[in-house]
Amino acid sequence: MAKHDPSTETDNRGFFERVFKDPLFQFVVIGAVLFSTFQFFSEPAVEENANRIVIDNRIINTIAASYERSWMRKPTKIEMDGMIQDYLKEEILYREALKLGLDKNDTVIRRRLRQKMDFLSRDLMEPPAPSNDMLQEYLEANKEKFLTPPRATFTQVYFKFNKSDSAEDRTKSALENLKGLVPGETSLESFGDATMLPGAMNNVTPFDIAKLFGQEFANSLFSLPVKQWAGPTKSGFGLHLIYIDELVPSAPPTLAIVRKTVEREWRDKQRKENNKLVFQAFRDQYDVEIMTTNQDSP
């Protein structure tokens, strides 16, 4: 019995890895898949005889299935006949347009075909399901994209702008009187002006705050000290004195919390890289010459 040689197995593995990574091999595989896909999805109605049109059962079933998906019922015979005639009209006009070359140099058609090729290559190169290790590596390399937003729990006292007196002076006076007072332990009704704005918000993000008080107010709030009255802070409504009970800074989340978002981002990145690979495989088959022009010429 021949003895097993581990070095031979290693050499074979290295050979196959080099083959699979070779761009020419990748292009051959991609080309074969694209050719097979086009063959599978090509409509059998178009034959070598450009004046012969065959509307077979496959086309009829496709028309019927499309109708049923849209209307949640099967088409009647009259409806089916009408759709077949519409398909026939479309096919005839399509072929006549090709004869006249109307598909040539048409920007809309070029963009539509490009879009279809992008979709096709994206489907063919769909990345496999990532492992937890792959997602964790991606999360660590892109922490800033997945940071949890800071959160605040605060109380505010509102002062409206008034022509008869100075809101700034009133807030300064109120700030002195509020020193040492803790919201929840002392009534704040005698301070400030009536408003429909919430007097307190619990565990909210800058986005939550900005929706009610505006972005300027939200940005200012997270720079204020904790466990003391501060301000005045300006909003689109007036001035505010603020007592922050708790601030929770932004932090990188665990994979368990943001796994769906990380996987979506990871897949999108893989698709873009795969699309570049597919395009480069096509690009390598063309001899491209870009003529330079004198941009300064009138």
187 inside domain: yes
Q: Per-residue pLDDT averaged across 11-22, rounded?
A: 50
What confidence score (pLDDT) does residue 58 get?
A: 92
- Please tell me the total count of domains within the chain: 1
223 inside domain: yes
What is the distance between the alpha carbons of residues 47 and 45, in angstroms, rounded to a whole number?
A: 6
107 inside domain: no
- Say which residue, 131 or 30, is predicted with more confidence: 131
Q: Per-residue pLDDT averaged across 248-275, rounded?
A: 83
142 inside domain: no
42 inside domain: no
What is the distance between the alpha carbons of residues 12 and 6, in angstroms, rounded to a whole number?
A: 10
What is the distance between the alpha carbons of residues 79 and 70, in angstroms, rounded to a whole number?
A: 13
Q: How many percent of the chain have pLDDT more than 90? A: 21
HSE toward the beta carbon, residue 212, CA cutoff 13 A: 13
- For residue 24, is pLDDT > 80? no
Which of 37-46, 126-135, 239-248 has the lowest average pLDDT? 37-46
Confidence of residue 143 (pLDDT cuts 50, 70, 90): confident
Structure-derived torsion over alpha carbons of residues 128, 129, 132, 133, reported in degrees to the nearest 10: 0
What confidence score (pLDDT) does residue 164 get?
A: 58
- For residue 17, is pLDDT > 60? no
Average pLDDT taken over every residue of the chain: 79
- Say which residue, 243 or 292, is predicted with more confidence: 243
- Say which residue, 65 or 126, is predicted with more confidence: 65
Q: Per-residue pLDDT averaged across 185-198, rounded?
A: 82
What confidence score (pLDDT) does residue 15 get?
A: 45
105 inside domain: no
Q: What are the C-alpha distances in Å from 17 to residues 12, 74, 88, 89, 281?
A: 9, 52, 51, 52, 19
Confidence of residue 36 (pLDDT cuts 50, 70, 90): low
Q: Per-residue pLDDT averaged across 127-138, rounded?
A: 82
Which CATH number goes with the domain that contains 243? 3.10.50.40
Q: Per-residue pLDDT averaged across 127-133, rounded?
A: 80
**pLDDT tens column, 201-239:** 999 999 999 999 999 999 999 989 999 998 889 898 889
- Say which residue, 17 or 184, is predicted with more confidence: 184
What confidence score (pLDDT) does residue 18 get?
A: 52
Pairing verdict, β 238-248 and 200-204: unpaired
**pLDDT tens column, 49-102:** 667 888 999 999 999 999 999 999 999 999 999 999 999 988 888 888 888 888
- For residue 292, is pLDDT > 80? no
17 inside domain: no
- For residue 19, is pLDDT > 50? no
Range(s) of the domain holding residue 227? 149-248
Q: How many percent of the chain have pLDDT more than 70? A: 77
What confidence score (pLDDT) does residue 155 get?
A: 92
What confidence score (pLDDT) does residue 136 get?
A: 86
What confidence score (pLDDT) does residue 295 get?
A: 53
What confidence score (pLDDT) does residue 113 get?
A: 83
Dmax (CA) of the chain: 106
What is the distance between the alpha carbons of residues 153 and 156, in angstroms, rounded to a whole number?
A: 10
> Using omega within 30 degrees of 0 as the cis cutoff, is the peptide bond preceding 232 cis?
yes
Burial of 31 (0-12, 13-18, 19+ CB in 10 A): middle
Phi-psi region of 268 (alpha: psi -120 to 50; beta: other; left: phi over 0): alpha
What confidence score (pLDDT) does residue 184 get?
A: 77
233 inside domain: yes
What is the distance between the alpha carbons of residues 49 and 43, in angstroms, rounded to a whole number?
A: 14
